[in-house]
Structures are given as structure tokens and as C-alpha cells.
């Protein structure tokens, strides 16, 4: 039995940093660097949690291809259990092209392989096998189907799992909070970034965004605000946490590392403020290197980082 189970997207990121839009030839462009990195919310989070010393497994779908082999190797190297991965010759492993700006912000290009027909709800014993479940991410495949979301969340909750959910803006299939209103109260905490929270809540102010999620019955919400930190809110309190000052090279996966840090802290029994601080450190360390799983090394690194700031 794993302590944490991550369910969702697994892919390979082709990260292009410092892209120069001015062509050097009729068909050629230049960039500062090009890097291949495993990614996807479930992969990023699982690798981070395993590095933090928690028994971690992943339920995802990969193609029978070189990209899938690369992901399995990377997961195994971090100690993530990979026996629940579904390999299929029918659907290729998704590959995303990421353009990263000098300040670490990024834009991505997805394609049809990101819509693969993966059904995590069919693997009920796996969903019951962990103390906590992380959905990465709501509103993106495979969690862009209300029935898939309902079955996964109900199965895990009936088994007594804590449930944490990341979110993403829709790309191929658009859902709203209304489409899954019956299942939202079963999610212990949801983690939209500022753009996602604005999109799904229809609000402009982060606290009002959080209020809209709470009004839908979600017990707690953390709005990730990037360089501005985060805002946490539940029925009893509001916590605003500043971001740690670091030189950001690449924000890819920062939110996934943040959520992993929070989930690990919760499993360890830390209170909300300490969990948010630990999560913020994980996200900050992630941005200090190119790639979603490059910067974070282990729990000792995070504790040393926090000690520098008196945390």
C-alpha cells in the first residue's frame, strides 16, 4: 500500500528556452537551449513526493514507445511504484512542446495524443490502495469526463482516502464546476492557479475566487499565485503566504511540486500553515532549474531551504 497515489497525465516535455522568433534561414530558428524532460501533472507530483521520502505510486497511461520508456525509467529512478501504469500500443505517449521565457513563464503546445482514452475509474483496487489520492488535473483528460471524475472520487473517498485535486484550463473538452457539483464536496482541497481560479469562479479577486469554490462545497482551496505566493481558505480561516524569493529559470511543474509538498505535509500531520510553507519551498526550488523534476532533490534540501528563511 502506497501513502500517495497520483492519477492523471504522463508525458514528455520538449522545453525550448530563449526562443528567438526572428528566423536565421527560410526554415530555421534559434533558441538558447532545448531540453527533453518527463512531465505531466501526475508524473511531476509523484516524482516530487517520492523524493520527499513518501511511498508513492502512479496510475497513468503510456504508449508502447520510446517516450513511455523514458517516463517509466525516470519514475523508477526516483522510487515511484510503476506497476499500476497502463501501457497501450493503441495510443502514443503525449509529447508537449514548451516555450519558456526569460522570467520562467511558459506557453505550451498540445496535440491529439493528449486526449487518449484512459479510464482510471476501471482500476478500483488501485484507487483504494493509498492513504491519499492526487488528481492531476481536473478538467483535462482523463478528468474531463464527469462520469470518470465521479467514479474515481467516490471510489477513493469510500476507501477513506484524502483527496487533493490540481486543475487545468480546458483544451479539448470544456467542463464547468456545475458539471461536477455533486462530487466537489468530496475533494479535501483544490489547487487552481490564479488564471484557472478566475476562469472557473468568474471572479477577479483571489479571495472571492476562493469563496466561489467554497460555496460549491469544497472544504478548502489554495489559489496558487506564482511569484505572489498563494492564498488558502477554508470555512474557518484565510492564510496568505508570500512566495520565497528565488531566481526563476523555469516555472514548469512548480504547481505540481507545490501540491506534492502539501500532500506529503498533510500525511505527516503538519498544520495548514506549515504545510503551505513546505509546499511553497518545493515550488520555489522547482523553478530554480529547467524542467519539472530537476530542481527538487530530497526532503533535506527543502528543510535546508526553509531554514535560510527562518521557517
In a domain, 26, yes or no: no
Sole residue written with cell 487533493: 164
Q: Residue 78: is its pLDDT beyond 90?
A: yes
- Dist. CA 149–CA 139, nearest whole Å: 9
Q: What is the pLDDT of residues 257-288, one digit of tens each?
A: 999 999 999 999 999 999 999 999 999 999 99
In a domain, 294, yes or no: yes
Q: Give the pLDDT band of residue 141 (cuts 50, 70, 90).
A: confident
In a domain, 37, yes or no: yes
If one counts every other C-beta atom within 10 angstroms of the C-beta of residue 136, the result is 30
The CATH number of whichever domain residue 173 belongs to comes to 3.40.1190.20
Q: What is the pLDDT of residues 180-213, one digit of tens each?
A: 999 999 999 999 999 999 999 999 999 999 999 9
Q: What is the pLDDT of residues 80-90, one digit of tens each?
A: 999 999 998 88
Q: Give the pLDDT band of residue 9 (cuts 50, 70, 90).
A: confident
Q: Domain tally for the chain?
A: 1
- Per-chain mean pLDDT for the chain: 93
Q: Residue 108: its pLDDT value, please?
A: 85
In a domain, 171, yes or no: yes
The string of DSSP letters for 111-153 reads -GGGG----GGG-HHHHTSEEEEEEEEETSTTTTSHHHHHHHH
In a domain, 13, yes or no: yes
Task: Provide the terminal-to-terminal Cα distance of the chain, rounded to the nearest Å.
Answer: 32
Q: Residue 251: its pLDDT value, please?
A: 86
Longest dimension (CA), the chain: 60
Q: Residue 266: its pLDDT value, please?
A: 97
Which whole number is the average pLDDT over 41-51?
97
Residue 53 backbone zone (phi > 0: left; psi -120 to 50: alpha; other: beta): left
Q: Residue 240: its pLDDT value, please?
A: 97
SS3 164: strand
Grid coordinates given for 72: 517509466
In a domain, 208, yes or no: yes
Sole residue written with cell 503525449: 94
Q: Residue 35: its pLDDT value, please?
A: 85
Distances (CA, A) of 266 to 51, 126, 135: 16, 21, 16
Out of 102-106, 134-138, 177-181, which region has the weakest mean confidence (pLDDT)? 102-106
In a domain, 206, yes or no: yes
Q: Residue 167: is its pLDDT beyond 80?
A: yes
Q: Residue 245: its pLDDT value, please?
A: 92
- Dist. CA 119–CA 145, nearest whole Å: 10
In a domain, 213, yes or no: yes
Give the burial class of 59: count Cβ atoms within 10 A of its Cβ; 0-12 exposed, 13-18 middle, 19 or more buried: buried
| Residues of the domain holding 226 | 2-18+32-308
Amino acid at each position: 500500500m502506497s501513502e500517495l497515489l497520483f492519477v492523471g497525465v504522463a508525458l514528455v516535455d520538449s522545453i525550448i528556452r530563449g526562443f528567438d522568433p526572428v528566423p536565421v534561414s527560410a526554415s530555421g530558428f534559434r533558441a538558447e537551449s532545448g531540453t527533453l524532460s518527463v512531465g505531466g501533472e501526475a508524473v511531476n507530483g509523484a516524482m516530487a513526493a517520492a523524493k520527499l521520502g513518501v511511498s508513492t505510486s502512479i496510475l497513468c497511461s503510456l504508449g508502447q514507445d520510446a517516450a513511455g520508456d523514458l517516463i517509466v525509467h525516470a519514475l523508477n529512478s526516483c522510487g515511484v511504484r510503476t506497476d499500476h501504469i497502463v501501457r497501450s500500443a493503441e495510443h502514443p505517449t503525449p509529447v508537449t512542446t514548451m516555450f519558456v521565457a526569460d522570467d520562467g513563464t511558459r506557453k505550451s503546445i498540445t496535440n491529439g495524443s493528449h486526449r487518449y482514452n484512459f479510464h482510471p475509474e476501471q482500476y478500483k483496487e488501485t484507487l483504494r490502495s493509498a492513504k491519499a489520492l492526487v488528481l492531476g488535473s481536473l478538467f483535462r483528460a482523463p478528468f474531463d469526463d464527469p462520469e470518470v471524475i465521479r467514479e474515481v472520487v467516490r471510489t477513493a473517498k469510500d476507501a477513506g482516502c484524502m483527496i487533493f485535486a490540481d486543475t487545468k484550463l480546458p483544451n479539448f473538452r470544456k467542463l464547468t464546476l456545475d458539471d461536477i457539483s455533486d462530487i466537489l464536496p468530496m475533494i479535501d482541497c483544490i489547487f487552481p492557479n490564479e488564471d484557472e481560479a478566475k476562469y472557473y469562479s468568474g471572479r477577479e479577486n483571489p479571495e472571492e475566487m476562493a469563496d466561489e469554490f467554497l460555496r460549491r462545497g469544497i472544504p478548502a482551496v489554495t489559489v496558487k499565485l506564482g511569484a505572489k505566493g498563494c492564498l488558502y481558505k477554508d470555512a474557518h480561516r484565510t492564510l496568505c503566504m508570500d512566495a520565497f524569493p528565488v531566481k526563476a529559470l523555469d516555472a514548469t511543474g512548480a504547481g505540481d511540486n507545490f501540491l506534492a509538498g502539501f500532500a506529503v505535509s498533510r500525511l505527516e500531520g503538519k498544520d495548514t500553515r506549515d504545510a503551505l510553507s513546505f509546499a511553497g519551498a518545493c515550488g520555489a526550488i522547482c523553478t530554480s532549474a529547467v524542467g519539472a523534476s530537476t530542481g527538487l532533490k530530497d526532503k533535506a534540501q527543502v528543510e535546508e531551504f526553509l531554514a535560510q528563511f527562518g521557517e
